Amino acid sequence: MLAFLGMQDINQLIDQTVPSSIRNNRDLEVGPALSETEALAKLKAMASKNKLYQNHIGMGYHGTLTPHVLLRNILENPGWHTQYTPYQAEIAQGRLESLLNYQTMVADITGLPVANASLLDEATAAAEAMSMCFNIARRKKKSFFVSELVHPQTIDLVKTRAEGFGVEVIVGDHKTYDVAANKDLCGTLIQYPATDGSIDDYEPFIAASKSAGAKVVMATDLLALTTLKSPG
């Protein structure tokens, strides 16, 4: 290619292609080159300086333990993140298969007939669920109830999302709030288990919400649902 262009070397090609005004002529201060093994060892030494403390914040943030059988067969299984054929360089098939497995697990644990495989965090998913309730009501019902036991970061994000739609977010006690009295209610949001770790029986509230024509959204902990009664 250089011969075809009449260039002597790659430096001449760069000189004539990249304007000097945007080039950096000084050496990069990246230190000596390292092999992959040396780089990993250096990064591990740097990471070992981190101090790990016990997390007691709650509100959905807590330590987790991933069973090694899941690590080996799913998260660390190269079949999920390598191409299946020489001409297929992307990971679409492996990703789709892993998402299908995840959807199947979620449907089984929640007891619901269908499940999607969203990449949203819990707070954003709750905000999307609020907008879904609003759209199902054909944007005619413009209030949405959120239990005060929902994670605070979720409540804040739902409020922010609702502001753009003109939806009023009502935060209160689900045990005392009269959903039947609010004819403008498009949906309700509850947390299971609650942000303080408590476990409540939401069946009366869910039944009242449905009777009032409001859709019910439940933010859950999937691992907790292996023991608790499922939303479905």
Cα gap 6→158, rounded to integer Å: 62
Tokens 């959120």 correspond to: 146
Residues 83 and 132 placed together within one structural domain of the fold: no
**pLDDT of 64 higher than 70:** yes
Residues 81 and 126 placed together within one structural domain of the fold: no
CATH number at 209 reads 3.40.640.10
pLDDT of the residue at 138 = 95
pLDDT of the residue at 56 = 77
Average pLDDT along the chain: 91
Which region among 49-53, 132-136, 187-191 has the lowest average model confidence (pLDDT)?
49-53
Which region among 53-57, 132-136, 203-207 has the lowest average model confidence (pLDDT)?
53-57
In a domain, 102, yes or no: yes
* Confidence (pTM): 0.72
E-assigned strand segments in 149-211: 168-172, 185-192
**pLDDT of 12 higher than 90:** yes
Q: Is 104 helix (H, G, I), strand (E, B) or coil?
A: helix
- In the listed set 110, 136, 164, which residue is the last one of a domain according to the structure? 110
Please write the tens of the pLDDT for every residue from 141-163.
999 999 999 999 999 999 999 99
In a domain, 12, yes or no: no
Which region among 34-48, 64-78, 114-128, 201-215 has the lowest average model confidence (pLDDT)?
64-78
The residue among 116, 96, 119, 120 whose CA lies nearest residue 107 is 116
Confidence of residue 25 (pLDDT cuts 50, 70, 90): confident
- In the listed set 110, 144, 161, which residue is the last one of a domain according to the structure? 110
Confidence of residue 108 (pLDDT cuts 50, 70, 90): very high
Number of domain units in the chain: 2
Torsion of CA 105, 108, 109, 110, to 10 degrees: 120
Domain that residue 99 falls in: 68-110
pLDDT of the residue at 123 = 95
